[in-house]
Structure 1
Amino acid sequence: MTSKTAGSTPPDDPMPQRQAIPKVNKVTRGDITASLKAGFSDFLARPFMSGFFGLFYAVFGILFVWSLVWLGKIWMIIPAIIGFPLVAPFAAAGLYEMSRRLQKNENFGWSEILTVMINQRKREMGWMAFVTLFVFWVWMYQIRLWLAIILQDASFSDFSGFLNTVFFTPEGWTFLAIGTCSGAFLSAVLFTVTVIAMPLLLDRDIDFISAMITSIRTVTENPGVMLTWAAIISVTMLLSLVPAFLGLIFTLPILGHTTWHLYQKAVSQAEE
């Protein structure tokens, strides 16, 4: 059976009729638990394919940090590592498609999943990628700004020197406090506009503004539950970075699959 979702090849009609903004449901913490179980089940159903997306994300993170060391941008390493999970929702597009097909009992292989991901460039997902990368850029830029203002006289000849300045001086503590607050704000903004928007854009023919509005409504109408989910994502992702990013091989796929199932519960699946 051919699916009518965004997993199919985009139609040739240059002006397709887009769906209306979907209805947002009430979700509970029990929905998070059920979604986690379903996400883990999806991971076990295709562990190597799911793990590939986590491995790709982890390798990219390792290369990103290595390039900063090679360029001598020592001060950027910690902000980059902390901010790196901000782009995870976009990296999980293939995982959403896998969960969508598993949910419909559709057969699929590498070609089907990768084709859908490539076809997203013709859809609205590209705009969400821009939003995600823009927030990441703002995060990196504001860290550089606070670094110049607060630690202007510090010299970072190596990574250990940077750590010593940040963690063992009053100026470093001020820098950490301000950076943590600004980072928490940017993370909350990005989570709010993307947590539902990403899977929604892949699943339906809807513009990215409507998708972001739906995501915002989901968070504002279910603040406690969505805050819990945000905390689970944040803690899991940060802990996954500790063993040289390698924890992401397992956690990113499970979180990605889980997000798909939580989206299914948070947004009405009835035709508008």
Structure 2
Amino acid sequence: MEQQAVKDGSVPKFRINRLTLEDVGSAFADGMRDFRTYPLFGLFFGAIYALGGVFIAVMLAYYHLPWMIIPVAIGFPLVGPFVAVGLYEISRRHRAGEPVGWKAILTEVFRQRERQLSWMAFVVLFIFWIWIYQVRLLMALLLGFRIPATLNAFVDLVLTTPQGLTFLAIGTVVGAVLATILFTATVISMPLLLDHDPDFVTAMLTSLRTVIENPIPMLAFGLIVAVAAFLALVPIFAGLLVVLPIAGHATWHLYRRAISTSP
């Protein structure tokens, strides 16, 4: 078991491999294969993610903040890498030939709160909150403080007025920057922390170096996941039941292609 190296006190060295677009395609193919092999696990974790999105949308409507549904829905996929930890563990166990059972998977997921992965949760949620607050700031600066009380009126304001179109353009650029930062920091670090549990700064720097050294394959992977996640939001988050598990498994397989270790 690869995690044993950490428990024995040895420190693995992480070597970044050269990736191609073919590796990206293979990672998604392997992710799809893992999802078909363990569909109930994938649907379980996908349902947690989807129901979380529905719950947030319902709460925003209940507290008469329907105009926040769109920015929250767009930003919600940012927390996907943390939710996908259970999927990484399934792929890891499958590759290592270890048994894949509910007790083993859920135990490993809950154990992460005592490891470095828990610190990454703060990073992910911090960037998510930055996204939410910058949206509110842009609304105040560009749309004023009298935001429409209904979702339809808000959409109409954004799409049919100069101020709304400016808000949409700036918000899209800022959101893309935040999403790129988060993707760069987490795409490799999250599965790496599950696999070896280095300190989270080392994991993030390794993820950053991987993206820098393989910009086209890594950004292509991120773009595919982002587009799929966005499209999955349309039918009331239901598409996330399938998109999240496939993307989670694929992320693990891309990580395995990107990183080699030596004691």
TM-score for the superposition, normalised by structure 2: 0.96
Q: Which residue of 2 aligns with 1:263?
A: 255
Q: Is the 8 A contact 1:18 1:206 kept in 2?
A: no
Q: Is the 8 A contact 1:21 1:211 kept in 2?
A: no
Using the alignment, how far apart are the partners of 2:199 and 2:10 within structure 1?
Answer: 7
Using the alignment, how far apart are the partners of 1:18 and 1:158 within structure 2?
Answer: 57
Q: Does residue 111 in structure 1 map to residue 89 in structure 2?
A: no
Q: Which residue of 1 aligns with 2:234?
A: 242
Instruction: Please give the residue correspondences for 1:1-272 in structure 2 after superposition, counting only pairs within 5 Å.
Output: 3-5=1-3, 17=9, 19-152=11-144, 154-268=146-260, 270-272=261-263
Q: Is the 8 A contact 2:187 2:207 kept in 1?
A: yes
Quote the offset at 1:76 in angstroms. 1.1
Superposition RMSD in Å: 1.5
Can you give the 5+ residue segments of structure 1 that lack an aligned partner in the other structure?
none
Secondary structure in structure 2 of the residue aligned to 1:23? strand
| Count of aligned positions | 263
Q: Is the 8 A contact 1:87 1:133 kept in 2?
A: yes
Secondary structure in structure 1 of the residue aligned to 2:237? coil
Using the alignment, how far apart are the partners of 1:4 and 1:172 within structure 2?
Answer: 51
Q: Is the 8 A contact 1:89 1:194 kept in 2?
A: yes
AA aligned to 2:262 is E
Q: Is the 8 A contact 1:19 1:205 kept in 2?
A: no
Using the alignment, how far apart are the partners of 2:31 and 2:67 within structure 1?
Answer: 36
AA aligned to 1:60 is G
AA aligned to 1:238 is F
Task: Describe the superposition over 1:236-262 as per-residue Cα deviations: whole angstroms up to 9, x where unpaired.
Answer: 000000011000101100000000000
Using the alignment, how far apart are the partners of 2:134 and 2:90 within structure 1?
Answer: 36
Q: Is the 8 A contact 1:194 1:212 kept in 2?
A: yes
Using the alignment, how far apart are the partners of 1:153 and 1:36 within structure 2?
Answer: 44
AA aligned to 2:216 is G
Q: Is the 8 A contact 2:60 2:68 kept in 1?
A: yes
Using the alignment, how far apart are the partners of 1:241 and 1:18 within structure 2?
Answer: 43
Identity of aligned residues (%): 47
Q: Select the structure that is richer in helix.
A: 2
TM-score for the superposition, normalised by structure 1: 0.93
AA aligned to 1:218 is T
Q: Answer with 38-47 or 20-29: which moved more.
A: 20-29
